[in-house]
Structures are given as structure tokens and as C-alpha cells.
């Protein structure tokens, strides 16, 4: 049996599920699934990178447990979150003759988790699915909470559904195959939890960052603490009508930057979030809400982690401020046309601010280009 180091329970009544965290969980997945979901078949949705690095381990485990399965392999990258490839995933599920009572497995990072979860939500009018996140970003954030979806030319994650997984298996060993850039991008989401409302966690990260990056015991603890934090928020506000919006700290700026860079390798999601969190703290400081030294402290920690923290560090030429503002205006937190931002009064003191002045935001972005 695998080494399950941490278990986090997401208590959502009859849709409750566990997040299992530990080494070797892909190798034990067949045994775990057979015990929890007897008699099911599985449709595995993954990307071509993860198919090479991790899929053989999962297939061997499913075969050893005698579980039937089929595989749908999609291209890697943010551009995969499209209507075309969503359709390919759904048609693959149907072509495999998977029934409504069977399960979809999302094996990959945030892109695959979002797309496969959405495919499960709409195939046969709703199938159960299991998240098997293989990136740090997915293990601490996107695999938990039931947000699924794809991107639109109008903006990021504007098409989708809330559809909770039945189980999350976070195999720490998969993180050893990530590039330093991909790991750092995921770490931005780890830092986010400390900046929202847990300054002690941020201070702990400052002390344990090296151990997390080296794969020491702090890595599993950090992931478990992030998952527990997100579970609490999701239980309180599953459909993001209130406090769950705090989890989007840095994302309003970040998503606009991702759209401007064409959802390409110019700017990974976590890198956009890193820049966005620094901008959110800087904008809060400009409004007199937060101490400016906190912005510098946050930027220093992210920079030491290998992340960009300024607009000038984004490769290539950014679009006009007007284009960035257009993307911000399409953000999911916009209500009746009014801009809503996650601002802060300092480290661990984020809050939701409605009716933010677009002119002030545009002027701030212009100044940050220098």
C-alpha cells in the first residue's frame, strides 16, 4: 500500500471526498480505486507530457487491480483548454463506451484537471471523476474545490461548471519530474494561501522554502496545509458567492496578463499569479490600505523562488493598458460591470473590494510598466 502521509477531508455532505497526499499513490491507485469504487471502469484523460512521465505507472496499477480503462491523450499546454479539445475528450469518453456510473480520471496538471473535470460534468449529463494532479499548482489548488472549465477568446476560465471530484490522489513523487520553472509556478499558489489570511504560514514558508523545493518533509506539509485551507473555504462557499473569491488573490491581474500573452509559455499561470499578487499588494499600498514594505517582502520571497514579480520581467511586449483593462473587465468577479478586486491590508489580510475605480487601476498599470 502507498505511503499516505496526509489526508484532508472536504466535508460537502453527500458530495464529500478525501484528498490523499503521499509518495507512490499512482502505483497504488488501482488498489485504492477498487476499494472505494468497486465495479467501475475508467477513462483516463491526460496530456502527452504526463503520458510519457506518469501514465505507465497508473496503467500498471490499474491492470494489477484488474480495472478496465481507456486513455485519451491531449496536447500539453494552456491552449488545450478549448472547445475543440474539450469535444475530443468527451467524444473519447463516449467512444470508450464508458457509462454514467463509470469514472473519468484527470491525470495531469491544472489544464488537464480543469478540462477533464468539465468533460466529466457534461458527458452523459454528468459522470464522477477522480483528480490525480501531477503538478504542484494542481495539487495545492486546481484539483480541489470542483472548479472545472476551459478558456474563451473573451478570457480565462469563463466557460465551465462546478463539479466536485469523488477523490483526489496527490502523489508527491510526480513533482520530482517537474522542471524548475513549472515547480516555481506552482509555488506561487502555495504562497497565495499565506497572503490571504494566514501570515504565520507565509512566515513558515520563508523559513522552509529551501526544504520544499528540495523535496524534504516540508513539501508534503505545505501541500496538506494548502489543501486544508482550500477545503475550509470551499465548504463555506462552494459556488464562490462570497469568501471563496479571496482565493483569486493576484488572479485578476494575472488572468489579464495570461490573456495578453496568448495563454502561451511566455507566461505560465503561476507566474501570472506571482506578478498579480505583487501588483495587488502594490495597488493596495498606493490606495493607503497596506504597508508598502509588505509588497517588497512578498516580491523578495517570490523572486528568490524563481518567479517574475514585475511587468517588465514578462518576455515580449505587453499589449496596451487598454487591452489589459478590457481583460480585467471580463473577470468572473465583475458584478454589473463594476470591478471587484482582491486587495489587502497587509500579509495575511486580504479582502474583497467592490466598485474599484477603473481609472485608478489603469493609471497604476501604466506606472508599473516603467
- Give the residue extent of every domain in the chain: 3-177, 196-368
pLDDT at 1 over 60: no
- The CATH class of the 196-368 domain is mainly alpha
Q: Which pLDDT value is given to residue 3?
A: 84
Question: What's the average model confidence in pLDDT over 191-205?
Answer: 98
Sign of CA dihedral 299, 302, 304, 307: negative
Q: Which pLDDT value is given to residue 329?
A: 87
Closest C-alpha to 305, from 214, 201, 172, 173: 214
Closest C-alpha to 305, from 331, 271, 341, 350: 271
Cβ 95 vs Cβ 122: under 8 Å: no
**pTM, 2 dp:** 0.94
Q: Which pLDDT value is given to residue 175?
A: 98
Of residues 212 and 340, more confidently modeled: 212
User: For residue range 279-309, what is the model confidence (pLDDT) as tens digits?
Assistant: 999 999 999 999 999 999 999 999 999 999 9
Question: What's the average model confidence in pLDDT over 212-223?
Answer: 97
Q: Which pLDDT value is given to residue 338?
A: 74
Question: What's the average model confidence in pLDDT over 119-145?
Answer: 97
User: For residue range 256-283, what is the model confidence (pLDDT) as tens digits?
Assistant: 999 999 999 999 999 999 999 999 999 9
Sign of CA dihedral 99, 114, 223, 60: positive
Cβ 129 vs Cβ 166: under 8 Å: yes
For the chain, first and last CA: distance in Å?
55
Q: Which pLDDT value is given to residue 336?
A: 64
Task: Determine the distance from the C-alpha atom of residue 55 to the mean position of all C-alpha atoms in its chain, rounded to a whole number.
Answer: 21
CATH architecture of the domain with residue range 3-177: 3-Layer(aba) Sandwich (3.40)
Q: Which pLDDT value is given to residue 361?
A: 96
User: For residue range 323-348, what is the model confidence (pLDDT) as tens digits?
Assistant: 999 999 887 555 666 789 999 999 99
Question: What's the average model confidence in pLDDT over 234-252?
Answer: 94
pLDDT at 228 over 70: yes
Which positions are annotated as active-site residues?
Answer: 125, 147, 189, 230, 240, 244, 248, 251, 255, 269
Amino acid at each position: 500500500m502507498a505511503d499516505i502521509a496526509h489526508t484532508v477531508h472536504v466535508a460537502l455532505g453527500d458530495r464529500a471526498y478525501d484528498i490523499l497526499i503521499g509518495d507512490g499513490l499512482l502505483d497504488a491507485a488501482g488498489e485504492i480505486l477498487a476499494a472505494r469504487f468497486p465495479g467501475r471502469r475508467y477513462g483516463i484523460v491526460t496530456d502527452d507530457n504526463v503520458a510519457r512521465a506518469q501514465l505507465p505507472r497508473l496503467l500498471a496499477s490499474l491492470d494489477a487491480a484488474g480495472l478496465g480503462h481507456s486513455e485519451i491523450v491531449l496536447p500539453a499546454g494552456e491552449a488545450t483548454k478549448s472547445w475543440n479539445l474539450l469535444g475530443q475528450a468527451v467524444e473519447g469518453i463516449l467512444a470508450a463506451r464508458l457509462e454514467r456510473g463509470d469514472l473519468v480520471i484527470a491525470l495531469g496538471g491544472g489544464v488537464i484537471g480543469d478540462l477533464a473535470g468539465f468533460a466529466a460534468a457534461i458527458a452523459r449529463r454528468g459522470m464522477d471523476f477522480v483528480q490525480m494532479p501531477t503538478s504542484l499548482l494542481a495539487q495545492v489548488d486546481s484539483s480541489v474545490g470542483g472548479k472545472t472549465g476551459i478558456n474563451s477568446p473573451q478570457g480565462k476560465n469563463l466557460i465551465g461548471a462546478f463539479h466536485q471530484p469523488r477523490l483526489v490522489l496527490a502523489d508527491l513523487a510526480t513533482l520530482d519530474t517537474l522542471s524548475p520553472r513549472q515547480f516555481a509556478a506552482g509555488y506561487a499558489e502555495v504562497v497565495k494561501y499565506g497572503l490571504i489570511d494566514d501570515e504565520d504560514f507565509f512566515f513558515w514558508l520563508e523559513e522552509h522554502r529551501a526544504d520544499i523545493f528540495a523535496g524534504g518533509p516540508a513539501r508534503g506539509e505545505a501541500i496538506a496545509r494548502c489543501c486544508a485551507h482550500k477545503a475550509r473555504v470551499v465548504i463555506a462557499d462552494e459556488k464562490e458567492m462570497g469568501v471563496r473569491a479571496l482565493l483569486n488573490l493576484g488572479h485578476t491581474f494575472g488572468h489579464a496578463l495570461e490573456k495578453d500573452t496568448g495563454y502561451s509559455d511566455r507566461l505560465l499561470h503561476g507566474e501570472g499569479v506571482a506578478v498579480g499578487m505583487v501588483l495587488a499588494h502594490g495597488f493596495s499600498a498606493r490606495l493607503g490600505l497596506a504597508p508598502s514594505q509588505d509588497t517588497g517582502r512578498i516580491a523578495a520571497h517570490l523572486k528568490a523562488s524563481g518567479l517574475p514579480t514585475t511587468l517588465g520581467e514578462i518576455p515580449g511586449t505587453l499589449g496596451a493598458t487598454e487591452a489589459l483593462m478590457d481583460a480585467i473587465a471580463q473577470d468572473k468577479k465583475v458584478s454589473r460591470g463594476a470591478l471587484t478586486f482582491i486587495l489587502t491590508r497587509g500579509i495575511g489580510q486580504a479582502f474583497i473590494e467592490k466598485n474599484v475605480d477603473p481609472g485608478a487601476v489603469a493609471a497604476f498599470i501604466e506606472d508599473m510598466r516603467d
